[in-house]
Structure 1
Amino acid sequence: MHRSRLALAAAVVLPAVLLAGGCGDPGGLRGAGATPTAEAPTRLWPKLPLPSTAAEDYGTVESVPVKGVDVPDGDLHQADPVTVVKTDFDKNPGTYDRADAVYKETVRQLADCDGGQVGDAKCPVLKAYYRDLTGDGKDDLIVGVRLARGHAENLDIRAYAMEKRQLTQIMAMSDSVLGVELAGREVIVRAVSGMQDYEYRTVWSWDPHRGAMLPTTDEIVRSPNAPKRKPSRKPDPGASTRPVPSPSDGR
């Protein structure tokens, strides 16, 4: 018998044994009340024509090769995270315009990392973390970059993998980040919401068909400790972000 079924059988037999032994508890199964009837989803406006354009979303999420970085033996633990980030920012500006003041200032600050340690006041690159996000048995590299002055509250988060012996950016996003967590092979990003006492929570998961991390879950949840202010959102390089809201829409 399956282990779970044995446990269930023991749970049913035990009250009967106690009753036979003169225990005051009558035992037996008890009803939990009426069960709601399951209902199929109701489709609204079934005759709507098919849309001709894609809906607004995070944008195009794709992997991007990062050339010119030495990765000894293909082990990302042996690669210099600062070199990876500097090369990526230089070669893959993504949605940033190279003339954009924030982009230019962030690149300038990255140059300061040559004389400072990762995570100190001079270097905007935070401590690197490693986790197998793709499921290939090899650790991938996850880095955070504090954006330049005026956008210092925003954090640029990027992940890199070795794909066919090529260093590849598999995730990039930027937001007013409250916190970042790793859960299994998923990256969970908590960000400021313009709605008081709420925050955004986005789960990024590996998609083998796309060959990149995708925002598979994006929700707004109650968070009494969230800052009571509206965030400043900025499109990020090389990947997705939510559409930048107007001040009137509260996000």
Structure 2
Amino acid sequence: MPRLPHTHHRGRPRQVTLAALAVGVAVSLVGCAADTGARDGGVAPPVSPPASSSPLWPQYAPPAPPGDEPTGPDRQYLSIKGVQVGAGGLKRIPVKELLEVDPNVPQLVRDAVRDCPGSACGLRAPVYRDLTGDGRDELIVALDEPKAELTLIQVYRAFGTTVRPVLISWGPLGLTGETFGHDLVLASTGNDGRFTTRYRWDGNVLTAAVPQGQTGDRAQSAAGSSPSPSPRNRTDR
């Protein structure tokens, strides 16, 4: 009886090997996918609150230096008698004449403007800006007084046909200012840095809107702001 040719079945082991390899790759992929998920890093560290000021003596109010003038909402400067505001507004009123009859300023100012006009005159050019938001310009006057080492900045406002100050501020010689919107910012520079005070219309006068502070690397803010004492005459200092 003739023998049939012997057939070797080699394909089945190869198929088993490929299947096992595919299973191993799938398990590896599943493991990699699991590694991309969120992990528990433990308890989060506590968040510290931001630092805040803590006054040493919260109930203490420093006394005002002698001669200081109140600048709160109840402050009311006197109207200037003998000066009327006409159709041209404050721009038609000579600044020198205004200061000479203003009862709100000390004799030092009246003595100083006697040098005007002239080389010794400390009056700067008047500036007109709307500081109240009513569309009308106020008059800003600056007077440098080297003998007293002071600068006066004064703001006048028209009330109908009368005029009176709404701000009188004395500062170190060279005191200057600028406006931001309707706010007036006065600034002085000394050995300790640059100091600024921002004034805002409160319906009656210009009051300090931001406490006096120091800008720059040594910035700090004071507890309050008040003007320097008004000098009485040219020999006070």
Common fold, TM-score beyond 0.5? yes
Report if the CA contact (8 A) 2:140-2:156 is conserved: yes
Q: Which amino acid aligns with 1:107?
A: R
Give the CA deviation at 1:158.
Answer: 0.3
Of 195, 201, 204, which residue of structure 1 is paired with 2:199? Answer: 204
- Go from structure 1 to structure 2 and tell me whether the alpha carbon gap of 1:221 and 1:42 turns closer, same or farther (over 3 Å shift): closer
Of 55, 60, 80, which residue of structure 1 is paired with 2:70? Answer: 60
Q: Which amino acid aligns with 1:108?
A: D
Please provide the CA RMSD for this pair: 3.5
TM-score, structure 2 as length reference? 0.59
Give the CA deviation at 1:150.
Answer: 2.3
Asked if residue 129 in structure 1 is aligned to residue 123 in structure 2, the reply is no
Report if the CA contact (8 A) 2:169-2:228 is conserved: no
Distance in 2 of aligned mates of 1:164 and 1:54: 39
Residue of structure 2 equivalent to 1:156? 152
Of 200, 208, 217, which residue of structure 2 is paired with 1:215? Answer: 208
Segments of 5+ residues of structure 1 without an aligned counterpart are 1-35, 225-232, 239-251
- Go from structure 1 to structure 2 and tell me whether the alpha carbon gap of 1:40 and 1:197 turns closer, same or farther (over 3 Å shift): closer
Report if the CA contact (8 A) 2:151-2:175 is conserved: no
Residue of structure 1 equivalent to 2:36? none
Distance in 1 of aligned mates of 2:55 and 2:152: 39
Of 132, 143, 146, which residue of structure 1 is paired with 2:141? Answer: 143
Residue of structure 2 equivalent to 1:169? 165
Report if the CA contact (8 A) 2:84-2:161 is conserved: no
Q: Deviations over 1:185-207 (max 9, x none)?
A: 122111244xx441211111111
Map of 1:1-251 to 2, 5 A cutoff? Answer: 56=64, 59-61=69-71, 62-64=75-77, 65-73=79-87, 75-88=89-102, 91-93=103-105, 96=106, 98=107, 103=108, 106-113=109-116, 116=117, 120-147=118-145, 149-151=146-148, 153-176=149-172, 177-193=174-190, 196-208=191-203, 211-217=204-210, 218-222=212-216, 235-236=229-230
Distance in 1 of aligned mates of 2:217 and 2:50: 32
> Aligned with 1:83: secondary structure?
helix
Report if the CA contact (8 A) 1:190-1:201 is conserved: yes
TM-score, structure 1 as length reference? 0.56
Residue of structure 1 equivalent to 2:8? none
Give the CA deviation at 1:39.
Answer: 6.7
Greater Cα radius of gyration, structure 1 or 2: 2
Segments of 5+ residues of structure 2 without an aligned counterpart are 1-46, 219-226, 233-237
| Greater than 2 Å deviation, 4+ residue runs | 36-45, 53-59, 106-109
Q: Deviations over 1:128-165 (max 9, x none)?
A: 00011111111110010112x522x4210000001243
Q: Which amino acid aligns with 2:229?
A: P
Give the aligned length. 171
> Aligned with 1:72: secondary structure?
coil
- Go from structure 1 to structure 2 and tell me whether the alpha carbon gap of 1:171 and 1:223 turns closer, same or farther (over 3 Å shift): farther
Residue of structure 1 equivalent to 2:5? none
> Aligned with 1:122: secondary structure?
coil
Q: Which amino acid aligns with 1:83?
A: E
